[in-house]
Structure 1
Amino acid sequence: MSEVAEMLGRRGGVATFGDLRAVMSARAIRTALADGHIRRVAKGVYALPTSPVALTAARSHGGVVSHLSAAQHWGFGVINRPTLPHITLRPGRVRRLTGLPCSLHWAEVPVLDDVTTPLRTVLDCIRTLPLADALAVADSALRARAVDHDELLAAASAIRGPHRRRILQVAELADLRAESVLESALRALLIEAGLEGFVPQVRVHDAEFSARIDLAHPELRLGLEADGFEHHGGRQALARDCRRQVGLTVRGWRILRFSWEDIRFDGRWVVTSVERASGLAPLTNSALRAA
């Protein structure tokens, strides 16, 4: 690796020509570029070929990584990956025509190493995303202890503008007990449908048995499971799931299990199923015949 590439690596994989020129010769920079050790991503901006896409795009425009791209950077749960990096520029800054493709935003934002802070990232995602996607980010940020719930509520309360009410509502709904983005998405369906009483990660246990249910209505003894394939892909997992299902059933629990496809692409069916199991919606004649 060339000296220029090593310097870029110490700067997070991206730097301006001026930053590089301050510590090495222009000839060394040109040689590293010609040899493919570095690449030019905008006028006067260079990056390692393996540098993070979002960070490279941000620095190619003189901005910072934000929104869903920042959520990915901090390791928060994301339901839908962004097709382009999300970048925030300071108000009044003009987009660089030579910069890398990205989704641009303009705002004064708090940053850490050219990425919006975890708290600001969660607020941006709540402001711009559908409820399921926003909850996935917020829940996982709380679960990772990257953001404190009281801190999130205080920041949401301090916001002024047309989105303040929604941001505060979603911040109040965020719950660190949710263990996956699919659980967050399932809870969002229930919230939007006005189905109340379901609590994340309810424990059912006695001297002989212990299990946790993704979402449960304790009074109705109705549990909902958000089933990702990775947790049920082998024979041992199948046997364990069967024992768990029987253990819950003999203790008076009814369990509805929903797949990723159900939750993400057929939410109306999920909600209707929960309503019927809760006794909130009667089975139609056709449904009774099918049963």
Structure 2
Amino acid sequence: MTDVVEVLRRRAGTASFGELRGVVPRGAIRTALADGLIRRIARGVYALPPLPDPLAAARAQGGVVSHESAAFLHGMSVLELPDKPQVTVPRGQHRRLSPVSCRLHWADHVPSDGRVTSKLRTVLDCARTLPFDAGLTVADSALRLGMVDRSQLMVAAAELTGPGCRRAGRVAAAADGRAESPLESVFRSILIENGIDGFELQVVIQDGTFSARIDLGHRALRLAAECDGFAHHSSRLALTRDCRRHVNLTVRGWRLLRFTWEDVMFDREWVVASIRAAMAGPAGHHNWAGVGGLSGEALAG
């Protein structure tokens, strides 16, 4: 079990009652609501209280919006919403008295124009200060959205000096715009940090009668890993299609491991143990044609 506020921060600030109940007790939700730590914005939907305006905080401190706050304003994915606006000011400048609360960072080079750090600077700031999974989430989304170029990111990270430069280089080397969600980015960070190699993003499996794309696939072992959100099956038809897809992958020799948001975010040891156990097992079979007397047309249906 984990904290209600942490769950909401990792869901961009909002979650349904069902999503919260997957990882926190009912009583914790009631307590957080009574204490004002969360608020109900609709029936069965909860959110964090609104944060102070990051632009107002930056103006009050004579700096610029930066780090996770800048990433959020740019439209990049963030693993967790910051508990306070993030603002960067010139090194040596003292904190100003202000009713707008914020978290200050100091730097030698602070843009004199604009109110938010550049997209590239934002990715680098996050990469050098955040945990690996959170930094990778920002970098992946920036690449996916075309906000930064991968070669540009690699060069800029290599030129960094000072605290966090090695961490930023690691994030830049691992960043991949093919990751389609923060959940996939976090899942990849788990694989990387635990030395699990061989998985590729967005692997396409196809033959004459069937085609599917999986989140991450290990071609040599025919092992697929997918991350499913709470509302993965939005209808009965979606469930039926997903089951059919699962069967089609299985009869073609692929083993499919499916992990929920709660697994990836809060039970990473089990995720790692499960993947390693699957990798240690026998690889998928390679002769699927005619399995169980079914033709290719029947399998693709």
Return the TM-score normalized by structure 2. 0.73
For 2:90, the equivalent position in structure 1 comes to: 90
Q: Which amino acid aligns with 2:239?
A: L
Distance in 1 (CA, whole Å) between partners of 2:222 and 2:187 is 18
Q: Which amino acid aligns with 1:61?
A: Q
Distance in 1 (CA, whole Å) between partners of 2:113 and 2:68 is 16
Distance in 1 (CA, whole Å) between partners of 2:78 and 2:106 is 22
SS in 2 for 1:233: coil
SS in 1 for 2:201: strand
Does the 8 A contact of 1:110 with 1:120 survive in 2? no
For 1:131, the equivalent position in structure 2 comes to: 132
Does the 8 A contact of 2:129 with 2:164 survive in 1? no
Whether 1:80 and 2:80 are equivalent positions in the alignment is yes
Structure with bigger gyration radius: 1
For 2:180, the equivalent position in structure 1 comes to: 179
Shift of 1:221: 0.5
Q: Which amino acid aligns with 2:244?
A: R
Q: How does 1:44-55 map to 2 (within 5 A)?
A: 53-55=53-55
Shift of 1:96: 1.2
1:143-187 Cα offsets, whole Å, 9 max, x none, are 000000000000011112243222112101000110000000001
Q: Which amino acid aligns with 1:161?
A: G
Q: Which amino acid aligns with 2:68?
A: L
Q: Which amino acid aligns with 1:244?
A: R
SS in 2 for 1:229: coil
For 1:7, the equivalent position in structure 2 comes to: none
For 2:215, the equivalent position in structure 1 comes to: 214
Distance in 2 (CA, whole Å) between partners of 1:112 and 1:144 is 24
Q: Which amino acid aligns with 2:236?
A: R
Q: How does 1:111-150 map to 2 (within 5 A)?
A: 113-150=114-151
Change (3 A) 1:159 1:213: same
Aligned residues: 231
Shift of 1:52: 7.8
Q: How does 1:236-255 map to 2 (within 5 A)?
A: 236-255=237-256
1:62-97 Cα offsets, whole Å, 9 max, x none, are 111100001101111111111111011111222111
For 2:103, the equivalent position in structure 1 comes to: 103
For 2:231, the equivalent position in structure 1 comes to: 230
Q: Which amino acid aligns with 2:91?
A: P
Q: Which amino acid aligns with 2:101?
A: P
Is there any run of 5+ residues in structure 1 with no aligned partner, and where?
1-49, 281-291
1:108-133 Cα offsets, whole Å, 9 max, x none, are 23476310001000001111111111
For 1:34, the equivalent position in structure 2 comes to: none
Return the TM-score normalized by structure 1. 0.76
1:204-261 Cα offsets, whole Å, 9 max, x none, are 1122111111111110000110111233232122112111111111111001000110
For 1:20, the equivalent position in structure 2 comes to: none
Q: Which amino acid aligns with 1:77?
A: S
SS in 1 for 2:100: coil
Is there any run of 5+ residues in structure 2 with no aligned partner, and where?
1-49, 282-301
SS in 1 for 2:209: coil
**Cα root mean square deviation, aligned:** 1.8
Shift of 1:51: 11
